[in-house]
Amino acid sequence: MFHWKKLGLIFEPAGRADWLKSHAWVPTPDDLGDGYFRVYFAGRNSNNLSQVGAFTINVEKPNEILDFSVEPIVQLGDLGLFDDSAVIPSCIVTDGGCKRLFYIGWMQGKRVPFYAMIGTATSRDNGKTFQKTSPAPYFSRSDIDPYFMAASYVLKDSSDYKMWYTTNTAWRETSGETLPKYHIKFAHSSDGEQWIREGRVSIDFLSNDEYAISRPWVLKEDGLYRMWYSFRGKTYRIGYAESEDGVSWERMDDASGIDISNSGFDSEMIEYAAVVQHNGQHFMFYNGNNFGADGIGLAIEE
């Protein structure tokens, strides 16, 4: 079981830039070495539309924010494209001199609140700038995933690539709200481009009270796959699971070792964990109340 010491908010979005009025949600760290991480996130503007920004931090000096992006790094798509209302980072894969950012693109709906797809953008200057690979989704709807796909995590694993991704199973109307019901599935690829989706569910609902399981983040350590994810009934919590093959998982939510605080920015909900390693120790970036409205927190493994 993990045990975490919370270090509090390490990044607060309000007032930092014209494009960033609130929120720094879904923190997505990229390891730069020597304890430095470039942390990508989605920030909301005055129209409540999200774009991707970033900052650099040394986890040994978490109160020093370096190299903040005064302009969004990945911007909204043109009107009518799949990402015209939100661009939200999910994970980064480094392959040679190229970094590929997997992101969630949102567009607003009418009978349902939104549609989500997976998009990608690439960088060849070590993550300073990104170019979208296509105006169309990287992952689109299919017979396997007929509603929408959202947060994904991609791992280059020996001779193949593995992906765990959020996918919606249905929309439901509850107490005047139209809510999605989504969990986490698995896909694999030999080259990181052509993916095989077979409908394999990695993390499923434990009860009818759960309706959202999202944002997988996976580490492979000593041959064991470890996944952190968010799950919710009334509000989000951070879950944890383990797997020997990356396909079949055992939920061990009590072992996540982290929960809401008695007060403060994460006193009502806690979600969107991203766990990294430095000097043999784990660090967790995460969000709190109202989906990261106040910013990004950091916790260190004890």
Task: Please tell me the predicted confidence (pLDDT) of residue 143.
Answer: 97
Note the pLDDT of residue 96.
86
pLDDT value at residue 39: 98
What is the separation of C-alpha 168 from the centre of its chain, rounded to a whole number of angstroms? 16
- Least confident among 24-33, 46-55, 167-176, 212-221: 167-176
Count of CB atoms situated within 10 Å of the CB of 81: 17
> Which pLDDT tens digit goes with each residue over 52-74?
999 999 999 999 999 999 999 99
Contact 190, 163 (CB under 8 A): no
CATH entry, 4-301, from 3.10.129.10, 3.40.50.300, 2.115.10.20, 3.10.350.10:
2.115.10.20
Compute the average pLDDT of residues 225-234.
96
Is residue 174 scored above 90 in pLDDT? Answer: no
Distance, in Å, from the CA atom of 186 to the CA atom of 193, rounded to the nearest integer, reads 15
User: How high is the pLDDT of residue 159?
Assistant: 84
Amino acid at position 284, single letter? M
User: What does the pLDDT read at residue 233?
Assistant: 87
Model's pTM, two decimal places? 0.97
CB of 199 closer than 8 Å to CB of 185: yes
**Domain spans of the chain, in order of start:** 4-301
> What is the three-class DSSP state of 218?
strand
Around 5, how many Cα atoms within 13 Å sit in the side-chain half-sphere?
Answer: 5
By percentage, how much of the chain surpasses pLDDT 90?
A: 95
Q: Name the least confident of 83-87, 93-97, 186-190, 214-218.
A: 93-97
Distance CA 127, CA 121 (A): 10
d(C-alpha 228, C-alpha 264), whole Å: 22
Query: What is the token pair recorded at 95?
Result: 């392959």
* 258, amino acid identity: I
Write down the pLDDT at residue 175.
Answer: 83
pLDDT value of position 160: 94
For 99-155, the pLDDT digits (tens) are 999 999 999 999 999 999 999 999 999 999 999 999 999 998 999 999 999 999 999
- CA distances 281 to 2, 141, 221, Å, are 11, 39, 12
CA distance 241 to 218: 9
Apex CA 195: angle with CA 249 and CA 253, to 5°? 20
Residues with Cβ within 8 Å of residue 222, at least 6 apart in sequence: none
Sign of CA dihedral 164, 28, 91, 77: positive
Distance CA 18, CA 196 (A): 41
Residue 281's H or E segment, with its range, is strand 281-287
DSSP letters, 23-65, are: EEEEEEEEEEETTEEEEEEEEE-TTS-EEEEEEEEETTEEEEE
Mean pLDDT of the chain: 96
3-state class of 116 per DSSP? strand
Structure tokens at 102: 């997997």
